[in-house]
Amino acid sequence: MKVAVVGATGLVGTVMLKVLEKRNFPVTELMPVASQRSVGKEVTFRGNTFQVIGLQDAVDACPDVAIFSAGGSVSLAWAPKFAKVGTTVIDNSSAWRMDPGKKLIVPEVNADALEENDKIIANPNCSTIQLVAALKPLHSRFIIKRLVISTYQSITGTGVKAVQQFHIERDGKVPSKEEMAYHHPINENCIPHCDVFLENDYTKEEMKLVHETKKIFNDDSLGITATAVRVPVDGGHSESVNIEFEKPFEVDEIKKELNEAVGVVVLDDVANNQYPMPLMAKNKDEVFVGRIRRDESIENGLNLWIVADNLRKGAATNAVQIAEYLVEKKWIGEGVMV
């Protein structure tokens, strides 16, 4: 099982290596891959040191699977080259997500959409992953009519530069213009601006939630609106989600569905101040759901609070879980079971 991790020296790539190790993915040969400026650097995996190689060298080695976390332009240019030599690509960028010929996968939700000849598989946006993981069992039973989503997204979703800006400001210093990842200070602040603004005055991040959720659920009839906010949290995205169902429900039925959902942990005991928070979700692979309550202002309305580590389930873990599914199906490797 030859595994290439493209973008191995980046924020998500580093976590990817940790997740592959933690989940005991059957790697027999690891290829850490990065841009030319990082070639020759070293990364550690399972106690061993590996030298970073370039993209063309990785393609020439024909890995079984290549997990990409190196940005959309790299994925657009190089994923087809890997696919051409028989490598299955799992891409963490936005490059292929809305391509009608590519599958957009959260394993607990729609792994059954995958086929053996899928050579480029898209990993959804981090905020979409935790959303659909929690909503899938509810949509299956009660049919979601409309979603109103407000996100509270960690600085780690922006990248290393944002984390550096945050810590410079936390130390009481003023970052230089070159050190600013955002247009405004992030320490002690909330910025209602994730990614770039589009012609409709929504941000790209907000529209990802709309389009990706519809694609994953294979349901264009869903009404979805979103507001995405960057908050001074070092790890973990939170979402306030208001749902309008077509069918009536009891809150106990909602909790039962969520408790039985794979990869979802219900933490909802307000009498003892128990509810999901990014601090407790950090470095965990599950999606946490709490503050489960009826929306008394509309018929068949519900409110949820959903939290997950955006670098784990929101990125690295989901990608590795896709790879695990491919191994289980014996579509990659030589039939080695996880």
> Is 167 noted as a catalytic residue in this protein?
no
40: β partners: none
Contacts of residue 15, defined as CB under 8 A and 6 or more positions apart, other chains included, come to 311, 312, 315, 316
Catalytic residue among 126, 190, 193, 194: 126
> Could you give the CA distance from residue 150 to residue 227 in angstroms, rounded to a whole number?
5
Helix (H, G, I), strand (E, B) or coil at 88: strand
Whether the Cβ atoms of residue 216 and residue 109 lie closer than 8 Å to each other? yes
Catalytic residue among 167, 184, 194, 237: 237
Give the residue among 62, 32, 64 at the shortest CA–CA distance from 48.
32
> Is 126 noted as a catalytic residue in this protein?
yes
In 143-250, alpha helices (H): 160-170, 204-217
Contacts of residue 273, defined as CB under 8 A and 6 or more positions apart, other chains included, come to none
Contacts of residue 82, defined as CB under 8 A and 6 or more positions apart, other chains included, come to 4, 58, 59, 63, 66, 89
Contacts of residue 336, defined as CB under 8 A and 6 or more positions apart, other chains included, come to 1, 26, 327
Give the residue among 238, 36, 230 at the shortest CA–CA distance from 131.
238
**Which residues are tagged catalytic?**
126, 237
